Amino acid sequence: MLHLNDPTLLRQQAYLNGAWCDADSGDLCSVTNPATGETIGSVPNMGALETRRAIAAANAAWPAWRAKTAKERSAILRRWNDLILANADDLAVLMTTEQGKPLAEAKGEVAYAASFIEWFAEEAKRVAGDTLQSPWADKRLLVTKEPIGVCAAITPWNFPAAMITRKAGPALAAGCPIVVKPAEATPYSALALAVLAERAGVPPGVFSVLTGDARAIGGEMTSNPAVRKLSFTGSTEVGRLLMRQSADTVKKLSLELGGNAPFIVFDDADLDAAVEGAMISKFRNAGQTCVCANRIYVQDGVYDAFAAKLTAAVEKLKVGHGLEPGTTQGPLIDSGAVAKVEQHVADAVGKGGRVLTGGKRHSLGYSFFEPTVIADATPDMLVAKEETFGPLAALFRFKDDADAVAMANDTEFGLAAYFYARDVKRIWRTAEALEVGMVGVNTGLISNEIGPFGGVKQSGLGREGSHYGMDDYLVIKYMCLGGV
């Protein structure tokens, strides 16, 4: 079972208005370890009523929270950051146990999660307005920025801590309370963050975590007029639904939705670097990130060499339980995720794809899948159109730059893209031509708290992290002072 230095970090109740609570009905949802299928524990199965209560508490807590100086809010956030870092080992064990990722990756995510709290603790103090040139001699024009109000967040299981702090950090920094609904699969990371928020001095109602029925909680979050903003990270399908549901109360939305990232290797690329980048971009978190390379386009002249080097690198991955030392690939989140990878492999093979390595469920059983490389991928395959969200690298062949860019852009998604090249003109032209929110040039790893994360097209709205990320939680007020 779970061994934590601080066992109080594992909470099996939700955190609402500064109190640890059960569902009104007493119902529970169980939480499973994806490496074994064993039950870790349970959390309350909450619904609309508890959500309404959490929103009312957030609304009541808002005036006092926004009235604090930015420096006071910053100090609380800074303490939260420090506590997250001080408890990183326990948070990582909790995360690996509920999510499956290797412990080293979980520790990396905890640091990444804390970085958003640290960053927005700093940014809190830099929210500033403007004075504008007046067209009237006797009037003055000013712009201030105010917290938007009560925020709601719905987060996914692939980054159980960072997707929460990336939303809660700017919300709290801006002066907004936030009610969070974590993914069903990974509530414990969220609840542990709440324990630490409480210890850091975040007041009751300012940060609440509800577990349970996604539809019921989401329904209340999107229809309740007190919620001024919803921030969602997850699938495009659910994002569309939440956007529709939010229309009646005209909420501000941040949506970080699906991706289908192209990864282009041009013939002048440093192939070893490209392989290293592809490994990070494709196989991190067992391929379960929205910025994972999904379609790898390799130019004719280097195709075979790249395929051989990538295959050799993939064969060195060590699949295993996340808590076992040396593991570099954990299980997928559940059997549905495994079935999707299996479907993409079968579809690709049926349409002429060649399996270079992997291709089937792993002998460890349960949610494990072999890291897989498939050559001769074509645009009619499922893997070209849908996010696989698993450890499948599909290699497509292309002739020239125009081909590569056209294929890369041939998707409704526009989150991240990557390419490897040396020629300066090619680098500029390609970076500009890709229809995405983020481009990795000669790197497979782009996420950090300082760069603006977000997509174009049906990959979403808004930007998270960075100094732009604060704007999503602020509204502009224009004041016109007459009779001066």
CB burial string 432-466: b at 16+ within 10 A, e below: ebbbbbbbbbeebebbebeeebbbebbbbbbbbbb
Rounded to the nearest whole angstrom, what is the least distance from the CB of residue 218 to ligand ADP in the complex?
Answer: 2
What distance in Å separates the CA atoms of residue 2 and residue 18, rounded to the nearest whole number?
Answer: 26
Among 13, 235, 378, 442, contact with ligand ADP (rule: CB under 6 A) = 235
Question: Cα angle vertex 371, ends 365, 372, to 5°?
Answer: 120
HSE of 20 in the Cβ direction (CA atoms, 13 Å)?
13
User: Binding to ligand ADP (CB under 6 A): which residues in 102-161?
Assistant: 154-156
Q: Which is nearer to ligand ADP, 101 or 181 (CB)?
A: 181
Which one from 123, 256, 387, 449 is the annotated catalytic residue? Answer: 256
Closest CA to 127 of 477, 475, 470: 470
What distance in Å separates the CA atoms of residue 104 and residue 96, rounded to the nearest whole number?
Answer: 9
Rounded to the nearest whole angstrom, what is the least distance from the CB of residue 482 to ligand ADP in the complex?
Answer: 46
Q: Which is nearer to ligand ADP, 46 or 470 (CB)?
A: 46
Q: Which is nearer to ligand ADP, 183 or 202 (CB)?
A: 183
Rounded to the nearest whole angstrom, what is the least distance from the CB of residue 264 to ligand ADP in the complex?
Answer: 26
Helices (H), 68-161: 70-86, 88-99, 103-123
> Would residue 50 show up in a list of annotated catalytic residues for this protein?
no
Residue 241 touching ligand ADP (CB under 6 A): yes
- Beta partners for residue 180, in sequence order: 153, 209
Among 44, 234, 262, 330, contact with ligand ADP (rule: CB under 6 A) = 234
Rounded to the nearest whole angstrom, what is the least distance from the CB of residue 340 to ligand ADP in the complex?
Answer: 10
Q: Which stretch binds ligand ADP (CB under 6 A): 57-65, 181-189, 293-301, 314-322?
A: 181-189
Contact string (CB under 6 A) for ligand ADP, positions 189-228, x = contact:
-------------------------xx--x----------
CB burial string 79-103: b at 16+ within 10 A, e below: bbbbbbbebbebbbbbbbbbbbbbb
Among 40, 150, 183, 375, contact with ligand ADP (rule: CB under 6 A) = 183
Rounded to the nearest whole angstrom, what is the least distance from the CB of residue 388 to ligand ADP in the complex?
Answer: 12
- Count other Cβ atoms within 10 Å, centred on residue 305: 13
Closest CA to 318 of 340, 288, 286: 286
Q: Which is nearer to ligand ADP, 214 or 339 (CB)?
A: 214
Ramachandran category for residue 247: left, alpha or beta (phi over 0 → left; psi -120 to 50 → alpha): alpha
Biggest CA-to-CA distance, the chain: 79
| DSSP 8-state secondary structure symbol assigned to residue 347 | H
Rounded to the nearest whole angstrom, what is the least distance from the CB of residue 233 to ligand ADP in the complex?
Answer: 7
Residue 61 touching ligand ADP (CB under 6 A): no
Q: Which is nearer to ligand ADP, 156 or 205 (CB)?
A: 156
Q: Which stretch binds ligand ADP (CB under 6 A): 36-44, 179-187, 310-318, 470-478?
A: 179-187
- Residue type for 93, please? V
Residue least distant from ligand ADP (Cβ): 218
- Residue type for 381, please? M
Residue 187 touching ligand ADP (CB under 6 A): no
CB 96 within 8 A of CB 106: yes
Q: Which is nearer to ligand ADP, 74 or 99 (CB)?
A: 99
Q: Which is nearer to ligand ADP, 231 or 299 (CB)?
A: 231
- Residue type for 121, please? A
CB 233 within 8 A of CB 251: no
The footprint of ligand ADP on this chain (CB under 6 A) covers a number of residues equal to 13
Rounded to the nearest whole angstrom, what is the least distance from the CB of residue 394 to ligand ADP in the complex?
Answer: 20
Residues annotated as catalytic are: 256
Q: Using CB under 6 A, list all residues that contact ligand ADP.
A: 154-156, 181, 183-184, 214-215, 218, 234-235, 238, 241
